[in-house]
Amino acid sequence: MSDFLDRSAKIHLLKEPVVKRLCELLDRSSSKGWRRLGEIVISDRRFKVSSDDMEMCSLTVLKLEGSPSRMLLRLMGDRGCTVGHLTDYLHALGNAEALHCLKPSALQVLIQPQSVALVSGHNLRLSCHAVGKSPVQYQWFKTKEEVPNSSCPDLVISPVQQKDAGFYICRVNCGDSFEFSQWAQVDVLNVAMSYAPGHSYQSLEGRMKLVIQPQPQRLYVGDALQLECGAVGRPIPRYQWHRNGAPVPNGTKRKLTVPHVMQDHGGRYRCEISSSSSERLWTNEVDVAVVDVYAIGGASSELFLNSIPEKLYATDKVALLIGNLSYQNHPQLKAPMVDVYDLTNLLRQLNFKVVSLLDLTESEMRNAVDEFLLLLHKGVYGLLYYAGHGYENYGNSFMVPVDAPNPYRSANCLCVQSILKLMQEKETGLNVFLLDMCRKRNIHDDSTPNVVLRVTANIVFGYATCQDAEAFELSSSGFTNGVFVKFLKKRLLDDEKITVVLDRVAEDMGQFNATKGKQALEIRSSLSERRALTDAIMPSDNVAHAHSRQWAKAHELPETMCLNFDCGARIKLGFAAEFSNVLVIYTYIIKKPEEMSFCQAHVTDFSQDLDVDPKEMNRETPEETGIYLLSSSLPQHCLYTRLSSLQKLKEELVFTVCLQGTFAAMADDPVHWTKSINIGKPLIARLDLHRAMRRNSCLQTCLMPHSPSHSPCHSPGPDHCHLLYGSHYAQDHSRLSPQHHYLEVGDSAPGAMGGSFYENLSQCRYDPMYDSGGGLSSSPGRLSIPIEASDDITELQTVFINSLHLQQQ
């Protein structure tokens, strides 16, 4: 342990008790006080403290409890002075007592417990880690009472209950010295189990998750109003209720209570939920109707209350989100990953059980649909979102798996209407399909669809584009949404009928100059009731609890682990989920022995099922290992590893944690310690989507009755297809290669940040096939599906660049 605090730390990072004691000593000393310190600082011209500044410091004595020393330290800190500089100045000043303030105590709390909000029934973990010159002991307290059996750095309560809510603190002892940690508040939310399986509450160190929505109220004057909302996360969220758009005075708690309402308490209420990281969420807006029974009479008041439309409910909400981007035989996509991630977070705020999956093969997609169907029953709201390559024949939409051959047909793909037929058999309350793919006809698929659907008034299709047209994604150096989700995510939380929401998305897309005349949202609906994605959940008696529990297990993260090694080092092994089939593992050194000059922990020896690239493991930043979307939610100063395609895992996930350390006494030769870790089957791996397709699965219904049973590569394509690029025939292979799959419309946008702005419009979700020779051909196995001819690329370039300029203004 160093004799002094970190010399590179800025002065303003000193803890308040240290600053307070230091100011007291400097204020009261005449010969070795703040004035003499100021003279020394003035002589060091690096920080440009002047005599005028000293005069300003002296005037602070005129203020109540004013401190010239505090003002001087603040000036020094603002001008870049560090603890090291201050230590040198105090040495020159000869004030040993003040210098002693900068020495670390014999006991230091390095990791403070953090306030957290979580759901009843889950696991609570509060951590406090300290270092001292001798062994450290811990004791946890809840308010003033000792917590039984809590003498470890980590306080774990499993499962946590509402009675466990409150304030916690840890006392740390080291010999005769002791320190208290900071207080940590624990808020325990009571959420119906019908919601819990869809939400793992796994990233408490990351983004907030909205888990309780307020409900509409119909009250008489004098009744009690109680509105409740809730979010989970670490640190604990903050709340501010709003009525008719204005903040409610003193409405800063999860529960808004008015003991005796008056008519002017009626209106539309919603709550703004925020965190210390400036993240904000809004709840649904709900109506509170208040009627004066004496003013309009008893019978009339009943009539008034009954005239308010009854709120529709779902018995549950289930969503399956699939994003295919890493195609084996077709152009790669980028936007589906971002689109699925954003929609996952939004749907979870609406209390959907969500499973989000990337890059599924045909068998994995069919098995995922089977698991999705198992969660559906009477009254459930079912939502399917798909982003990737696709096509449409005879009004039936087909989703293309990542392992689809070139060319592909219905036998290699999943028919959306066949999935709808199976959903109808479950007597669902609402069926929503959001298809973010192209809808061009597949000329290699000559099968005749034979899907007979029931007539039900609860079906909504939202197509990202019109029939026989492409869907676009905006491509840039970073990660961006496709055009559809770019506008959908702004409207998805609106408390409106789902068709109204989609109508507004269509209007927004229609104003986007970049795709005007190229892509337009198409809505097909038979929905007769005012059903919305924001509708509350009222579980029925026949909920399939067994399947819900299985789904819950498939979305639980492994518990964070603290590993102790024989050398005395301790590391934290943490987990986070980017998607239901993408696991992030991070390692962090909690304790390093003093005699060890270097210490690092990494993970290795993963199952070959996962095909992990060693070059992308144990990286110092999340982005280096491909973690782009979750990076801001992960703890810092760790080594990160991203495991994708968990659905391919056949056995329990066993890997090795390797600790590497060097000692100065051993000529810095590295020493290794290892531990084998078994975390079972994490996340979606528990559902065994890798298994062979069951004969009673959705396969039988998804396949068209007359689709070819032999390899699709033997079916010849039509001989009249030509591919146009711009206004000319494409004559060579290079012009049709994947790197030319983007329309070059943004070479250098004037006025863009950094001098240039590269953002292109990509015809992304419809396969541009090319032959392997020098020219185009319609022979078998070559040209599969042509893209639409584009005679007005120049016009599109101008429109898109202009739209970028408008966005930047």
pLDDT tens digits along 629-678 = 877 778 878 899 999 999 999 999 999 999 988 887 776 678 889 999 99
Q: How far apart are CA 334 and CA 68, in angstroms?
A: 58
Torsion of CA 353, 359, 362, 367, to 10 degrees: -30
The enclosing domain of 43 has a CATH number of 1.10.533.10
Q: How many CA atoms lie within 13 A of 666 on its CB side?
A: 11
Judge if 332 and 454 occupy the same domain.
Answer: yes
Q: How far apart are CA 140 and CA 543, in angstroms?
A: 40
- Short-list 123, 191, 187, 195, CA closest to 155: 123
Q: Give the mean model confidence (pLDDT) for residues 692-707.
A: 48
pLDDT band at 460 (very low <50, low <70, confident <90, very high): very high
- Short-list 353, 345, 343, CA closest to 376: 353
* Lookup: tokens for 792: 């007005």
Residue 468: how many other CB atoms lie within 10 Å: 12
Burial status of residue 425 (CB atoms within 10 A of its CB: 0-12, 13-18, 19 or more): exposed
pLDDT of residue 741: 34
Counting runs of H as helices and runs of E as strands, what totals does the chain give?
A: 16, 43
Judge if 423 and 340 occupy the same domain.
Answer: yes
Query: What residue type is assigned to position 9 of the chain?
Result: A
- With residue 173 as reference, give the H or E element that holds it: strand 166-174
Residue 439 and residue 445 in contact, taking contact as beta carbons nearer than 8 Å: no
Rounded to the nearest 10 degrees, the angle between the axes of helix 16-28 and helix 68-78 is 120
Flag whether 770 is in a domain: no
The owner of tokens 């397709």 is: 693
Judge if 327 and 401 occupy the same domain.
Answer: yes
pLDDT of residue 488: 94
Rounded to the nearest 10 degrees, the angle between the axes of helix 34-43 and helix 16-28 is 100
* Lookup: tokens for 734: 């290079």
DSSP assignments along 267-280, one per residue:
EEEEEEEE-TTS-E
DSSP assignments along 244-299, one per residue:
TTEEPTT--SSEEEESS--GGG-EEEEEEEE-TTS-EEEPPPEEEEEE-HHHH-HH
Q: Is 70 exceeded by the pLDDT of residue 727?
A: no
Q: In terms of pLDDT, which residue wins out, 739 or 673?
A: 673
pLDDT band at 446 (very low <50, low <70, confident <90, very high): confident
Q: How far apart are CA 452 and CA 716, in angstroms?
A: 29
Judge if 251 and 354 occupy the same domain.
Answer: no
Residue 95 and residue 26 in contact, taking contact as beta carbons nearer than 8 Å: yes
Burial status of residue 148 (CB atoms within 10 A of its CB: 0-12, 13-18, 19 or more): exposed
* Lookup: tokens for 464: 């990202």
Q: Tell me the pLDDT tens digit for each residue of 305-351.
A: 555 556 788 888 999 999 999 999 999 998 999 999 999 989 988 88
Judge if 418 and 513 occupy the same domain.
Answer: yes
Residue 31 and residue 98 in contact, taking contact as beta carbons nearer than 8 Å: no
Lowest mean pLDDT across 283-297, 601-615, 795-809: 795-809
Q: Give the mean model confidence (pLDDT) for residues 551-562.
A: 80
Pairing of strands 724-725, 728-729: antiparallel
Q: How far apart are CA 414 and CA 698, in angstroms?
A: 9
Flag whether 503 is in a domain: yes
Alpha helices in 29-180 (DSSP H): 34-43, 51-59, 68-78, 83-93, 96-100
> According to the per-residue pLDDT averaged within each range, which of 154-158, 688-692, 729-733 is highest?
154-158
Q: How far apart are CA 151 and CA 158, in angstroms?
A: 16
Residue 713 and residue 407 in contact, taking contact as beta carbons nearer than 8 Å: yes
Q: In terms of pLDDT, which residue wins out, 628 or 24?
A: 24
Q: In terms of pLDDT, which residue wins out, 160 or 548?
A: 160
Judge if 470 and 513 occupy the same domain.
Answer: yes
Judge if 477 and 377 occupy the same domain.
Answer: yes
pLDDT band at 706 (very low <50, low <70, confident <90, very high): very low
Q: Is 80 exceeded by the pLDDT of residue 362?
A: yes
Flag whether 34 is in a domain: yes
Of 233, 258, 291, which marks where a domain is finished?
291
Query: What residue type is assigned to position 506 of the chain?
Result: A
The percent of residues above 90 in pLDDT, for the chain, comes to 32
Judge if 125 and 51 occupy the same domain.
Answer: no
Q: Is 70 exceeded by the pLDDT of residue 476?
A: no
The enclosing domain of 114 has a CATH number of 2.60.40.10
Flag whether 737 is in a domain: no
Judge if 66 and 112 occupy the same domain.
Answer: no
Q: Which domain holds residue 249?
A: 209-291
Residue 416 and residue 384 in contact, taking contact as beta carbons nearer than 8 Å: yes
Residue 660 and residue 600 in contact, taking contact as beta carbons nearer than 8 Å: yes
Flag whether 123 is in a domain: yes
- With residue 373 as reference, give the H or E element that holds it: helix 362-374
pLDDT band at 624 (very low <50, low <70, confident <90, very high): confident
pLDDT band at 759 (very low <50, low <70, confident <90, very high): very low
- Short-list 604, 611, 566, CA closest to 585: 604
The owner of tokens 């100059």 is: 513
Q: How far apart are CA 280 and CA 214, in angstroms?
A: 17
Q: Which of 128, 438, 638, 702 is catalytic?
A: 438
DSSP β-bridge partners for residue 384 = 320, 433
Q: Which of 129, 199, 389, 741 is catalytic?
A: 389
389 assigned to active site: yes
DSSP 63: S
Q: How far apart are CA 575 and CA 591, in angstroms?
A: 19
174 assigned to active site: no
* CA Rg value for the chain: 31
Reduced to 3 states (helix: H, G, I; strand: E, B; else coil), residue 772 is coil
The enclosing domain of 334 has a CATH number of 3.40.50.1460
The percent of residues above 70 in pLDDT, for the chain, comes to 77
Residue 164 and residue 123 in contact, taking contact as beta carbons nearer than 8 Å: no
Of 101, 129, 154, which marks where a domain is finished?
101
Q: In terms of pLDDT, which residue wins out, 710 or 111?
A: 111
Judge if 600 and 612 occupy the same domain.
Answer: yes
pLDDT of residue 147: 93
Q: In terms of pLDDT, which residue wins out, 193 or 615?
A: 615
Domains contained in the chain, number? 5
Flag whether 793 is in a domain: no
Q: How far apart are CA 585 and CA 608, in angstroms?
A: 17
Judge if 530 and 577 occupy the same domain.
Answer: no
Phi, psi of 270 (to 5 degrees): -155, 165
pLDDT band at 698 (very low <50, low <70, confident <90, very high): low
Q: Is the dihedral of CA 461, 742, 751, 631 positive or negative?
A: positive
For the chain, the residue count is 809
Judge if 55 and 163 occupy the same domain.
Answer: no
Q: Tell me the pLDDT tens digit for each residue of 235-281.
A: 889 999 999 888 999 899 999 999 999 988 999 999 999 886 667 88
- With residue 702 as reference, give the H or E element that holds it: helix 699-702
- The pTM of this model reads 0.60
DSSP β-bridge partners for residue 396 = 393
Flag whether 669 is in a domain: yes
Flag whether 598 is in a domain: yes
Of 533, 552, 571, which marks where a domain is finished?
552
